[in-house]
């Protein structure tokens, strides 16, 4: 084999590897986007839980103390 043939074979292998890596990188970025969407949904759910707990605590205080007393305490 001549040097030219060897170089062409090596370049062909490198191009094949590069195409495979490009495909793998695209798949990984797609998975990252999906993961970020899931994390955002989890964050939204956690915020809803937090505000529900705050509302429950507020409701408990208002029902136990009374609305007028709760307003006096708040002011």
Report pLDDT digits (tens) over 41-62: 999 999 999 999 999 998 888 8
How many domains would you assign to the chain? 1
Q: What pLDDT band is residue 3 in, cutting at 50, 70 and 90?
A: confident
The boundaries of the domain holding residue 10 are: 3-74
Q: What is the pTM of this model?
A: 0.60
**What span, in angstroms and rounded, lies between the C-alpha atoms of 2 and 38?**
55
């Amino acid at each position: 084999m001549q040097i030219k043939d060897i170089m062409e074979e090596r370049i062909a292998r490198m191009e094949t590897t590069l195409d495979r890596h490009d495909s793998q990188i695209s798949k990984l970025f797609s998975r990252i986007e999906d993961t970020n969407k899931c994390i955002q949904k989890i964050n939204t759910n956690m915020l809803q839980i937090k505000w529900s707990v705050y509302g429950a605590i507020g409701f408990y205080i208002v029902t136990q103390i009374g609305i007028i007393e709760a307003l006096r305490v708040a002011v």
